[in-house]
Structure 1
Amino acid sequence: MSYIIALVRFLDSEQPFPVECFRTDLAAHDQVVVRLGSGQLRYALIVAMKYLNWDCKGRIECKASESSEDHLGDIVLPYGTPINKGITTHAAFVSAAKSLGWIPLKPSQRTYRNALGSTNEKNTAYVLVRRNGIDIKIIENTFRESLRPYSLCQCSLSEGITVRHSLAHTSFNLFEGVLRFCKSFDVNELGLERYFVPVGSSDKRTEELKAMSIARKSQQREMQDIYDACSDGGGGPAYLGDGMWITSAGGIRDEGR
């Protein structure tokens, strides 16, 4: 699973290919080395970078300029690939938040991978990390109790000021955005409302995939209508003529004349 997805183009293809990316210093038109699901290494050109949180088979190992070639012309990767730079994973985000002084807690719900908390002069804030997003909650300090590491965190969003962010289809790095919230909260900054506008989408599909899904469902409905018109209602294949039969699932069988 990769929050950042790079759409790359190989030399022998015009079709963009999605691959996982674990660095924030790459952009469109950068040349990179990609490892395919088969293990093969290939040079590629980045066409676009998107925040999709997809699970892809291929991944970017490094920039093309960071690699070399052996005497046979095979790509040689630098030590430590795939190269990771910036906050691109759940683990990197949690580590960065802890380095800011946020306390790791034990989530009360299995929905959450991690929970972190911090207390300022007036409130307590919780950052709740899901597989596909991050939730934030602020509640008023009633008893001024300090947070204890790995104590149970009540993750209900029914109290306090809350927001649910999704990783897919954000216009910026959500991990970095929530770290900015952590810093703003710690210094009692005013105007925290800007962090409570939901971003991203729970639907990871791109507009192209949504259009394909709509077209596929439309075709399925059309085939079902044809079957319903030709079937005797018994659930078996319906004869269309000229040796062609249509099944109850909308499939076509050609049994000849």
Structure 2
Amino acid sequence: MSYIIAFVSYSNFNNNEYPVQCFRTDLVRNDEVIIRRADGKLRTAKVLRLEYLNWDCQSFIQCKRSECYFDSVGNLCLPSRSALIVGIATAENFIKKLQDCGWIPLNSHRNTYRKIFAKTNDSQLAYISIRKNGVDIQLLPITEAKLPIKPYSLYDSSFSLGRVVRHSLAHTTFNLYEGLLRFSDSFINNEINLDRYFIPQGEKDKRNDVLKEEAALRKNMKDPDDYGISDIYDALSCGDGQPVYLSDGIWITSSGEMYD
């Protein structure tokens, strides 16, 4: 699963665009990158655009093209120490930053949440609850807190209490993880007006416009090649004729058909 999805075009293949996982915040449009496909093969590509979609694609960006080098016989070689993850691009990096800021991890009986963190300031108790597809914030008066908050104690509040906002990762217009770290700073610094952090961000439906259109066309599709589906299959397949996973529960067969 990748919060950031890069749409790329492969060098020396065609002009179509393909979604790949991106774990870096330092990439921009037209950057040349190295893609590692599901079959382990590497391909050079150019970034066409970046979107926050939280998709599960099989291919991912290994590194920037500029970080590679050529050996004595002209083969492209990957850098030995190039970081796969750069910036706050994953839930794991976000969680580490919260812990560095002093947020206390809690346990929960609810499987909905991967992690729950708590922290107090001079007047309030805050919870940041991390889901697979989003992050929730809850604010309560500090009088509701059972102090001191013990690490890995049980979260025993209810989202029907206090002030709550539920953010979705897909289709945010900015890096939500970075935005939530700004909330952390504001909360720790006892800012009075936190309204800007309680405007819900993102959408529950992770499909982009192309996938929504494909879903509408699927039932009536006569010639899959008219919509470039076979080209996408060729780019993602490792040549064994098996269905390949595109994203968000969508599979493509060797005949160009799509199903979920």
Q: Please classify the TM superposition score into its range, dividing by the shorter chain length.
A: 0.7 to 0.9
Instruction: Report the equivalent of 1:253.
Output: none
Aligned to 2:191: 189
SS in structure 2 of the partner of residue 153 of structure 1: coil
Distance 1:182 1:170 in 2: 19
Shift of residue 36 of structure 1? 1.1
Q: CA deviation at 1:218?
A: 6.3
Equivalences for residues 121-132 of structure 1 within 5 A:
121-132=122-133
> CA 1:44 to 1:115, structure 2 compared with 1: closer, same or farther past 3 Å?
same
Task: Please tell me the residue identity of whatever aligns with 1:74.
Answer: N
The corresponding residue for 1:14 is 15
Which amino acid is the alignment partner of residue 10 of structure 2? F
Task: For 1:175, give the aligned amino acid.
Answer: Y
1:25 partner SS: coil
Shift of 1:155: 5.7
Output the CA distance in 2 between the equivalents of 1:110 and 1:117.
17
Pairs aligned (count): 220
> How far apart are the structure 2 equivalents of 1:73 and 1:124?
59
Q: Secondary structure at the match of 1:79?
A: coil
Q: Which residue of 1 aligns with 2:181?
A: 179
Structure 2: which amino acid aligns with 1:204? Answer: K
Say if 1:137 and 1:160, in contact at 8 Å, map to a contact too: yes
Tell me the TM-score normalised to structure 1 length: 0.81
| 8 Å contact from structure 2 (residues 125, 144) kept in 1 | no
CA–CA separation in structure 2 for the residues paired with 1:13 and 1:200: 32
Secondary structure, in 3 states, of the residue corresponding to 1:152? coil
Conserved in 2, the CA contact under 8 Å of 1:22 and 1:60? yes
Q: 1:214 deviation in Å?
A: 1.9
The 2-side partners of 1:80 and 1:105 are apart by 34
Match of 1:59 in 2: 60
Paired residue for 2:217?
A: 215
Per-residue deviation, residues 35-74 of structure 1 (Å, max 9, x unmatched) = 1111111111100011011111111111111001234443
- 1:119, CA displacement in angstroms? 0.4
Equivalent in the alignment of 1:226: none
Show the counterpart of 1:45.
Answer: 46
What is the CA-CA distance between 1:104 and the residue it aligns to?
Answer: 1.0
Segment drifting more, 81-90 vs 194-203: 81-90
Which ranges of structure 2 fall in alignment gaps of 5 or more residues? 222-260
- Contact 1:41–1:75 (CA under 8 A) maintained in structure 2: no
Residue in structure 1 matched with residue 154 of structure 2 by the alignment: 152
In structure 2, how many angstroms separate the alpha carbons of the residues matched to 1:30 and 1:171? Answer: 20
Q: Aligned residue for 1:2?
A: 2
Verify the 8 A CA contact 1:60 1:82 in the aligned structure 2: no
**What are the equivalent positions in structure 2 for 1:108-147 lying under 5 Å apart?**
108-142=109-143, 145-147=147-149
Unaligned runs of 5+ in 1: 220-257
Q: Do the aligned partners of residues 160 and 205 (structure 1) sit closer, same or farther apart at CA in structure 2, a change above 3 Å counting?
A: same
Q: In 2, Cα distance between the equivalents of 1:119 and 1:22?
A: 31
Question: Aligned pair in 2 of structure 1 residues 56, 81: CA closer, same or farther (>3 Å)?
Answer: farther
Could you say which structure has the greater relative contact order, defined with CA pairs below 8 angstroms and 6 or more residues apart?
Answer: 2
**One-letter amino acid matched to 1:197:** I
Amino acid at match of 1:78: P
Cα separation, 2, equivalents of 1:143 and 1:164: 21
Which residue identity does 1:164 align to in structure 2? R
